Amino acid sequence: MPDYKIRGTAPLRGSVLVQGAKNSVLPMLAACLLCSEKVQLSGVPQLSDVSNSLRIIEKLGCRVRRGVHTLEVDTQAVCYSTLTAEDCRKMRSSVLFLGPLLGRTGRAELYCPGGCVLGPRPIDLHIEALCKMGAEIEVTDERISAVCPDGLQGSEITLRYPSVGATENILMAACLAKGRTVLYNSAVEPEIGELIALLRAMGAFIEVGGGRVCIEGSERLHGCHRTVGADRIVAFTLMAAALVTDGEITLCNCPVQALQAPLRVLGDIGADISLCGEGLRIRRGTKIYPVNVSSAPYPGFPTDAGALLLTILSLASGRSRYEETVFSDRFAIAEQLRRLGADIEVKNNCAVINGVPQLCGGTVRATDLRAGAALIVAALGAQGESTVCGGEHILRGYEDIVGVFRSLGAEITEIN
Ligand code: UD1
């Protein structure tokens, strides 16, 4: 697995195309199981999480044809309903196969999902909702065994918390359930919108509005073609890199609408942001102003951008505060940033960041995907040489991060 060697402070300049979104494509791949025809996807990023999902899909009996950024998934021959422990532990999104498998085959055998360690990540909301739809599910410390001998039934479901994953599982299961499912307090992240667009293209009847999502179950769905939208967190990563290196980057196909809250925060920080013909251009203003920010479900500030924001604020001219409200243990990044000279104090779910004039090179370890990206960005803005270890986390969500940053003038190499 790679580590990265980075010599920092070269101002990053140039234009870059934002890759397709990991958090969109993973539920889309699970949704392919809902029909028994071919689903074609474009704009698919080359990520280890995508390869792992495809491995799962192939083991279930599907055929996959993969181009550079395209996929054709033929789910006609799905004949298994069991995922292996190893496949499930590689990523959180393995749990997204639960709803589609129940809908398609009437049963699902999974192991508890892995993924980034951000504190406890229960799946009670997924399980409760699917049980309400008629599934019988047994969950042990390790395994999830689900059956629905009479098929899934449409139901009225109110989520206690707008969980992204639970919303996705319910949406997919409801498409093949008998009757109407009405879902209240669902997540409204842009990636949910992308999943709904795919399901509609597959023939599903889904209405969104009035604070609820209504899904009219169908007997079968059909094949289709969709393009995966650009990744808002990767876009934010590139913007963070422009700011900490005092460079100027233009993001082509930037998902501006999906980035309203992060762009507001970057505006408060004093970033100079403008829309130009090609896309969104960003550079540092006169200085980085301190800010107070809390993460929240969409349309709030995304928890996945928290580690990157901490990195930017490490170089602010004053004291900032960042509160993490979605996951309980997302501040392992603080210890790593301190090794690069940042002044960050964490108390419970709050980080207080006293800006320093300069970060300095060091050896740090990615503890999860977004923390890994934040450390690469921090190292790009730090004086001297840094080594960022734990590249396996970064490969899960960033396609060719070395090539992308090099094309903008960064001194970064992959070492094994
Ligand atoms: C997804 C994203 C992840 C992002 C997160 C929040 C994918 C693969 N992952 O994760 O990158 O950080 O959304 O935007 O798309 N919860 C429960 N019970 C449940 C489910 C969730 O209590 O059954 C809680 C979680 O512990 C957490 C909160 O709800 O505190 C949000 O979790 P959720 O929205 O489900 O995130 P994920 O789908 O895991």
Q: Which domains does the chain have, with CATH numbers?
A: 3-17+230-415 (3.65.10.10), 25-227 (3.65.10.10)
Q: Average pLDDT for residues 14-31, to the nearest whole number? A: 98
> Range with the lowest mean pLDDT among 93-102, 107-116, 194-203, 365-374?
107-116
Q: Model confidence over 275-316: pLDDT tens digits?
A: 988 799 999 999 999 999 999 999 999 999 999 999 999 999
Given pLDDT bands bounded at 50, 70 and 90, which one contains residue 390?
very high
Mean pLDDT of the chain: 95
What is the pLDDT at residue 116?
Answer: 66
Q: How far is the CA of 67 from the centre of ligand 1 (A)?
A: 30
Given pLDDT bands bounded at 50, 70 and 90, which one contains residue 1?
confident
Q: Average pLDDT for residues 334-363, to the nearest whole number? A: 97
Q: Model confidence over 113-169: pLDDT tens digits?
A: 876 666 678 899 999 999 999 999 999 888 999 999 899 999 999 999 999 999 999
What is the pLDDT at residue 277?
Answer: 81
* pLDDT cut 90: percent of the chain above it: 91
Name the closest-CA residue to atom 9, ligand 1.
23
What is the pLDDT at residue 119?
Answer: 67
What does pTM read for this prediction? 0.97
For residue 163, the ligand 1 atom closest to its alpha carbon is 34
What is the pLDDT at residue 278?
Answer: 76
Higher pLDDT, 78 or 240: 240
Higher pLDDT, 117 or 30: 30
Name the CA radius of gyration of the chain, rounded. Answer: 21
Q: How far is the CA of 362 from the centre of ligand 1 (A)?
A: 32
What is the pLDDT at residue 118?
Answer: 65
Q: Model confidence over 156-209: pLDDT tens digits?
A: 999 999 999 999 999 999 999 999 999 999 999 999 999 999 999 999 999 999
Residues 112, 116, 175, 389: which is the catalytic one? 116
Given a cut of 70, whether residue 85 has pLDDT beyond it is: yes
Q: Average pLDDT for residues 102-112, to the nearest whole number? A: 94
Name the closest-CA residue to atom 35, ligand 1.
163
> Measured from the CB, is residue 90 less than 6 Å from ligand 1?
no
Given a cut of 80, whether residue 338 has pLDDT beyond it is: yes
Determine whether 116 is an active site residue.
yes
Mutate which of 124, 126, 144, 164 for ligand 1? The one with the most ligand atoms within 8 Å of its CB, which is 164
> Measured from the CB, is residue 125 less than 6 Å from ligand 1?
yes
Q: Average pLDDT for residues 42-63, to the nearest whole number? A: 96
What is the pLDDT at residue 179?
Answer: 98
What is the pLDDT at residue 151?
Answer: 94
